[in-house]
Structure 1
Amino acid sequence: MELQLLYKNGMLMFVFSMMPAGVSAKAHVGEKTDSVCLSPKLVQLQGDLRKLWIDHAVWTKKYVVSALANLPDQQEMLARLLQNQQDIGDAFKPYYGEEAGNKLAELQLLTDQIVVRIKNDWKGDTAAYDDKYETQIIHMADAFTEGIVKQFPGKF
């Protein structure tokens, strides 16, 4: 039952569909940009989003391990994962509003790491995290930060 929560996707499409036309959010490894003075609010937002997405990866993995091994902490891990999803939704509310933040919090997020874990591909699980998952999480958080700052420059 709880594993089915991990299979809905579309969160990125939801968030990016809320951005007005012409806004682009990108993150490229190794890309050099002009130096810019970053406001404390922007740095705080970026750090907060990075932590939320990293936490999401950690709690998702912990829950999947508990669910597959039928460990006694399974419900606690699920509750913490779902709280993280609420926290992600709450982080978007100041920019997109209460309704959009609540919708984002309701979405269930799926990653390659979950798929390899469910298939008991332990080497693939480690590789998924080491090779791309952590970098993707940070880049996704940075892309969200850039998009929010471009949409709401007066808040930064």
Structure 2
Amino acid sequence: MKPRFSPLLLASILIAIAACTQPSAPAAPAVTAARAAPAATAMPDRKAETRTAMRKLWEDHITYTRNYIISALAGLPDTDAVAARLMKNQDEIGAAIKPYYGDAAGDKLAGLLRDHISQAAEVVKAAKGGDKAQLDAAQAKWSANGKEIAAFLSSANPNWVKADLEAMLQKHLDLTSGEVVARLHKDWAADIKAYDEGHEHMLMFADALTDGIAKQYPEKFQ
């Protein structure tokens, strides 16, 4: 006797057979470990960070010096406030070298730089008053202070050559004096030119300091 199937059962069997004969869908590609892992974080370029920070400090130095020259020569009411901010910048520069040379060295540099600003104020005052003898004396003290700064820095780091530092600091003084003289004579083009050259020179000086630190303490930049 032949087995009999109901129409419903027969339809179910046919559907099951058809499903078994269909090609299977391709499996989803496995996510590789390389794709699944987060991107590695790049190590910071410590020398670049130090260079940027050092440039910012010395840009503040030359910018607030210029602001002081403008305010002091014009007798503006913000002169004392600008002078206070300029003095703060010298403390900030001193603090920047403390991680490498210690607190005493940082404080020493800040003190020398504060003298540098005090003497700059004397130069501005003498130039504004038109007293040539007083101006010459103030500029001589200013240059002597620059030599003190160069001697101190070169004693801390053999990569900072004393003669080079003296020349760079004297050029900074000469260009700053150029701003004062140009403003007194209302030679605005010469004033701007002196500041632009002084700005570029100050960035070069800042980079020289950073390069010297990196050479002396390479392990701190790895």
Partner residue in 2 for 1:124: 190
1:97 aligns with 2:159: no
Larger Rg: 2
SS in 2 for 1:71: coil
1:65 aligns with 2:70: yes
Give 1:41 shift: 1.4
* TM-score normalised according to structure 2 size: 0.50
Q: Which has the higher contact order (CA 8 A, sep 6+)?
A: 1
Distance in 1 between residues matched to 2:200 and 2:76, nearest whole Å: 29
Structure 2 regions of 5+ residues with no counterpart? 1-42, 118-171
* TM-score normalised according to structure 1 size: 0.69
Partner residue in 2 for 1:52: 57
SS in 2 for 1:72: coil
Structure 1 regions of 5+ residues with no counterpart? 1-37
**Structure 1 vs Structure 2: percent identity of aligned residues?**
44
Give 1:103 shift: 1.2
8 A Cα contact 1:112 1:128, kept in partner: no
Q: Which has the higher helix share?
A: 2
Distance in 1 between residues matched to 2:88 and 2:51, nearest whole Å: 20
Distance in 2 between residues matched to 1:39 and 1:153, nearest whole Å: 15
- Post-superposition CA distance 1:68-127 (Å, at most 9, x none): 111111110000000111111111111111111111111215623431233224332211
Query: Which amino acid in 2 is paired with 1:116?
Result: G
State the superposition RMSD in angstroms: 1.8
Alignment of 1:1-156 (within 5 A): 40-107=45-112, 108=116, 111-119=173-181, 120=184, 121-130=187-196, 132-156=197-221
